[in-house]
Structure 1
Amino acid sequence: MRLPARFVPLTAVTTATSALLTGCFSAAGPEEAGSEGKRIRVAMMQPPRSGLSPLSDDAFKLSRWSTAETLVKLDAEGDARPALATEWKRSGKTWTFTIREGVTFHDGTKLTAAAVVNSLTEAATASPKPRILDGVDLKAKADGDTVTVTTAVEDPLVPQRLSSPQLSILAAKAYEGKTVNPLGAGTGPFELTEVNGTASAALDRYDDYWGGKAKAPGIDVKYVPDGTARAASLRSGEADIVEAVPVSQAAVLDQDLITEVPMPRTNTLYLNTEKGVFKDASLRAAAREAVDAESIVEGVYEGRADVAEGLLGPALPWAAELRSPLKRAEAGDPDGEAITIGTFTDRAELPEVAATLQQQLQKAGFKVKLDVREYANIESDALAGEFDAFILSRATVLDSGDPAAYLYSDFASDGSFNISQLADKTVDTAIDQASDTAAGDARRQAVIEAEAAVLTTDAAVPMLHERVIQGDAAGVVDAAHDPRERELVTADTYVK
């Protein structure tokens, strides 16, 4: 039995091999003169893919380092809260945001409504657009100390969209040329001062930060894609904060240094409803009944995950309270039907999940073949419906902090990530209803009704909800433990 790690409930979230690592960090870590403390050494999983452009997924690195900020932040419930905007109001298709006074960019220029409009316009007119604006026609205009944001159709989620790190507000100098360069262009407590390609980055404290001086003098980042090496950096004392500790390595670390946080990411078996064996609803039901998620959680994830009760997990604490029992189809007899299950190697646990599922489905009467590749080499086949089933670890709140976008993308008839090839009018209606409902309790109820509509089809069999496993050295104080992985080092984080 594994020793218990720290487990952070959602209400508390965001408040508070050695040879492979040779040369990653200095043994003791650089210190500032005087009593200001140590710089924070961070080992991150993935190197930047787009030169740290905020218009890409690299934006989440800028957010986790507290260098780039957005107009709005999200609380634990996914509701919008002030950041660079202090307040907002809606009138039909138009939202008006009041811009915070007294904010400067790291290059010394002032945050103005015009600067905000410049950043939002660059994002809205980019090709391709940031994912958060996929299908959204957004225009921004400055008016004194306010910014009006208008969409082509009424969108109740505009504030949540503007919380996405991909819509960070940067100084005008960041947008010179064809790329977006965040170096010295943010508004956060730390200034990005050095970028060394896919090897490392450095940030220094920005003493004129509008929210107060950060407690740490700076951050030194190393990219360590190998999970064993990242874990070893914590064990050896070469890193202070280690993100995305693999399940296989968590057990061999000092459990006092490990924190697990419910994550809005579901490991799901998508079943092809358009063609092949699983076009038959009774055989989808047979597959659903054959899946033993508890044994996958214990055997593959060593208990460091949560058995799924639905598509939305404990990272959305309101979901379980709103669910009602479902009426499901009766299971048919697989009778030796042959199926191919695809998955990818990029997430270390998925090939083992696939092997376990293969055994479970074969026991139920299916003949199962596995096709396991790198994600870049398998995504197009999955989206084209080339598999009978596909195992995917999928974020369920995407960039807006709201699950309706995920439900639309994955299960609407014209969804862009519809691996199940699902085309169901009841599902479409339920998802549209959720998407059109204003943020708050009514929207959450509509989301759960859309989830129920999807689950009734057995187009997707949710198996488990993953956890963020983060390593913090003994001297680290107030590192963020964020299920959305938007925060890591904040102004309050320091090393003793």
Structure 2
Amino acid sequence: MRPRHRHRLRPLLALLLSPVLAGCFASGGTDSADGTDAGSRLRVALAFPPAENLSPYGADSTTLTRLGVTEGLTELDANGAATPALAASWRQENDRTWLFTLREATFQDGSEVTPAAVAAALTHATQAKPAPAALSGVTLTAKADGATGVRITTENPDPVLPLRLSSPALAVLSTKAYDTKGEVDPVGTATGPFKLTKVMGATAATLDRYDDYWGGRAQATGIDVKFVADGIARASALRTDQVDLAEAIPVAQAATLDKATREATATTRTTSLLLNTGKGPFKDAALRAAARQAVDTSTLAKDVYEGYADAGAGIYGPAVTWAEGRRSEPVGRAEPGKPKGTRITLATYDNRPELPEVAQVLKQQLDKAGFDVTLEVREYSRLESDALAGRFDAFVLARNTLVDTGDPVSVLASDYTCDGGYNIAQLCDKDVDRAVAKAEKAVDTGERQEASMAAEARVLGTDAVVPLIHQRVITGVGTSVSGALLDPYERTLVGIGTRR
């Protein structure tokens, strides 16, 4: 339950944190690097500090697309379909081969976007360790074809390859971005409307407008970014005009912002409780069932998220409109066992401020059911490696289910299969793997959706994941800002028309 007097503390906390942010955005509203267009830079507060030095292959990849730095061959439209980006068009030659035709574009280092450069960039992605989530279970090769073509061949038929190539983790960078040790540097080597010019560790970054962007010149001359993990501080910065855009405003802070400055967007993000099936107490399916039975999701949606969420129904939430009518009962669930004081470690991160409160409520519910819960909360970048290594018994994760590819099967493959690259639940179940493999082979859209839901039922039947809530994300948008890009996939925030 929430502390009854929490709301009385908000104004005081905001006042205490305002001086901390005052110096963070001192450069906001200053001239661009060449001394022109004074006052047209954007000041942005992001919730997640870089976890991997802004590598395009992991969680940092969406930071780069949200800031308009990187692009892939395709992108997603409002309906989740693949549309042209660096590729002007494409066609399928056979069930394993596609030919993509490039548009005229240049990299931010001045070199041309050529078929050879694109093929090299995609080849580097296939060799990354760990592999990008968008390539989970997929082997592809890319080769230049003439002056404008890139031919991509997959080892097995991949009917959603154009969707897959929209992934932020498959962004195309120039040859200068890649070194012989496998490191990737996106500074000045991408293709988007904004050029990353300086990264100050995990605290800040500077971007300037890339005037030769193929899609036209951006209206803002640049972006000054601060990575502010504290949600109260992000809200305070927006309220006191230290920042123009602030992502992931905490639910608890929404009421402190003027209604005109908060935008709630239904997203494909689901917050779930992941249970470690590989080792520890939750290797026992009966104890996983007991944990699932102990959780009251309606309390979380109503009290913790204050109406900015829906109670968890499955891996896919209401924003995935086709899923609701196709959902079936979980398959193969075990009977709940008796916890009898079983000790477990429950972990989460505080970049999304609601998550520690969710975890605290879960701790109370699980303790009441007979578990002995130790709660651990850290900043995400200091937690991810331990979570992926299976060092926690349970983990509260907010996951955008369509962020990696836009394909519903991809999140199942990456998060819940034996070879999945983001398998925090450590799940390895032959029935789940078979169901996901069947979904991956489906070509027709309707068949693929049906197969995805059948695979979801198998995943939920293992109790490796307990869907908690489906979130509406609140973005702080200053009254002087126009053209902010808010989408359910959370891939975009700033584009060529974003300005103040």
Q: Which amino acid aligns with 1:157?
A: V
Query: Any idea what the Cα deviations from partners look like across 1:48-96, whole Å, max 9, x if unmatched?
Result: 3444333443332221121221100012343211111122222132221
1:265 aligns with 269
Q: Which amino acid aligns with 1:38?
A: S
1:123 aligns with 125
- Does residue 347 of structure 2 align to residue 343 of structure 1? yes
**In the TM superposition, what is the alpha-carbon distance from 1:218 to its structure 2 partner?**
2.2
CA spacing shift, 1:226–1:84, aligned 2, 3 Å: same
CA spacing shift, 1:385–1:208, aligned 2, 3 Å: closer
Give structure 2 stretches of 5+ with no counterpart.
Answer: 8-16
Correspondences of 1:189-200 after superposition (within 5 Å)? 189-200=193-204
CA–CA distance in 2 between the matches of 1:25 and 1:419?
Answer: 36
2:175 aligns with 172
SS in 2 for 1:296: helix
**In the TM superposition, what is the alpha-carbon distance from 1:326 to its structure 2 partner?**
5.4
- Does residue 335 of structure 2 align to residue 317 of structure 1? no
**In the TM superposition, what is the alpha-carbon distance from 1:426 to its structure 2 partner?**
3.4
2:461 aligns with 456
Correspondences of 1:19-168 after superposition (within 5 Å)? 19-26=19-26, 29-30=29-30, 38-90=40-92, 91-100=94-103, 102-144=104-146, 145-168=148-171
**In the TM superposition, what is the alpha-carbon distance from 1:320 to its structure 2 partner?**
1.3
Correspondences of 1:241-390 after superposition (within 5 Å)? 241-271=245-275, 284-325=288-329, 332=336, 334=338, 336=340, 338-347=342-351, 348-363=353-368, 365-374=369-378, 389-390=394-395
Asked if 1 retains the 8 angstrom alpha-carbon contact of 2:137 and 2:419, the reply is: no
Q: Which amino acid aligns with 2:25?
A: F
Query: Any idea what the Cα deviations from partners look like across 1:131-174, whole Å, max 9, x if unmatched?
Result: 43344332211111110112222222322221122222223333
Query: Any idea what the Cα deviations from partners look like across 1:6-63, whole Å, max 9, x if unmatched?
Result: xxxxxxxxxxx21111222238722578889621111122333444333443332221
Q: What TM-score do the two structures reach when normalised by structure 2?
A: 0.85
SS in 1 for 2:467: strand
SS in 2 for 1:42: strand
CA–CA distance in 2 between the matches of 1:123 and 1:471?
Answer: 33
**In the TM superposition, what is the alpha-carbon distance from 1:245 to its structure 2 partner?**
1.7
CA–CA distance in 2 between the matches of 1:358 and 1:422?
Answer: 22
CA–CA distance in 2 between the matches of 1:488 and 1:306?
Answer: 24
CA spacing shift, 1:85–1:19, aligned 2, 3 Å: same
CA–CA distance in 1 between the matches of 2:447 and 2:22?
Answer: 53
Q: Which amino acid aligns with 1:307?
A: A
> Which region of structure 1 is more displaced relative to structure 2, 119-128 or 293-302?
119-128
Give structure 1 stretches of 5+ with no counterpart.
Answer: 4-16
Correspondences of 1:457-496 after superposition (within 5 Å)? 457-495=462-500
CA spacing shift, 1:295–1:39, aligned 2, 3 Å: same
**In the TM superposition, what is the alpha-carbon distance from 1:441 to its structure 2 partner?**
2.1
SS in 2 for 1:160: helix
**In the TM superposition, what is the alpha-carbon distance from 1:376 to its structure 2 partner?**
6.7
> CA RMSD for the aligned pairs?
3.2
CA spacing shift, 1:471–1:284, aligned 2, 3 Å: same
CA spacing shift, 1:228–1:95, aligned 2, 3 Å: same
CA spacing shift, 1:204–1:253, aligned 2, 3 Å: same
**In the TM superposition, what is the alpha-carbon distance from 1:479 to its structure 2 partner?**
0.1
2:12 aligns with none
CA–CA distance in 1 between the matches of 2:190 and 2:291?
Answer: 49
Query: Any idea what the Cα deviations from partners look like across 1:328-380, whole Å, max 9, x if unmatched?
Result: 868657374535242123443333223322333444x4233224243677667
2:10 aligns with none
Q: What TM-score do the two structures reach when normalised by structure 1?
A: 0.85
**In the TM superposition, what is the alpha-carbon distance from 1:383 to its structure 2 partner?**
5.7
> Which region of structure 1 is more displaced relative to structure 2, 439-448 or 416-425?
416-425
Asked if 2 retains the 8 angstrom alpha-carbon contact of 1:119 and 1:170, the reply is: yes
| Counterpart selection for 2:438 from 433, 436, 445 | 433
Correspondences of 1:173-188 after superposition (within 5 Å)? 173-175=176-178, 178=181, 179-188=183-192
SS in 2 for 1:477: coil
**In the TM superposition, what is the alpha-carbon distance from 1:290 to its structure 2 partner?**
3.0
**In the TM superposition, what is the alpha-carbon distance from 1:446 to its structure 2 partner?**
1.0
SS in 2 for 1:476: coil
1:405 aligns with 410
SS in 2 for 1:435: helix
CA–CA distance in 1 between the matches of 2:296 and 2:362?
Answer: 8
Query: Any idea what the Cα deviations from partners look like across 1:242-288, whole Å, max 9, x if unmatched?
Result: 11222332232223211122233322223455777666656544443
CA spacing shift, 1:409–1:206, aligned 2, 3 Å: closer
SS in 2 for 1:46: coil
Asked if 1 retains the 8 angstrom alpha-carbon contact of 2:220 and 2:496, the reply is: yes
Aligned residues: 480
> Which region of structure 1 is more displaced relative to structure 2, 121-130 or 242-251?
121-130
- Does residue 444 of structure 2 align to residue 442 of structure 1? no
SS in 1 for 2:415: helix
CA–CA distance in 2 between the matches of 1:423 and 1:278?
Answer: 13
CA–CA distance in 2 between the matches of 1:76 and 1:213?
Answer: 23
CA–CA distance in 2 between the matches of 1:235 and 1:295?
Answer: 29
Q: Which amino acid aligns with 1:251?
A: A
Q: Which amino acid aligns with 1:452?
A: A
Asked if 2 retains the 8 angstrom alpha-carbon contact of 1:409 and 1:418, the reply is: yes
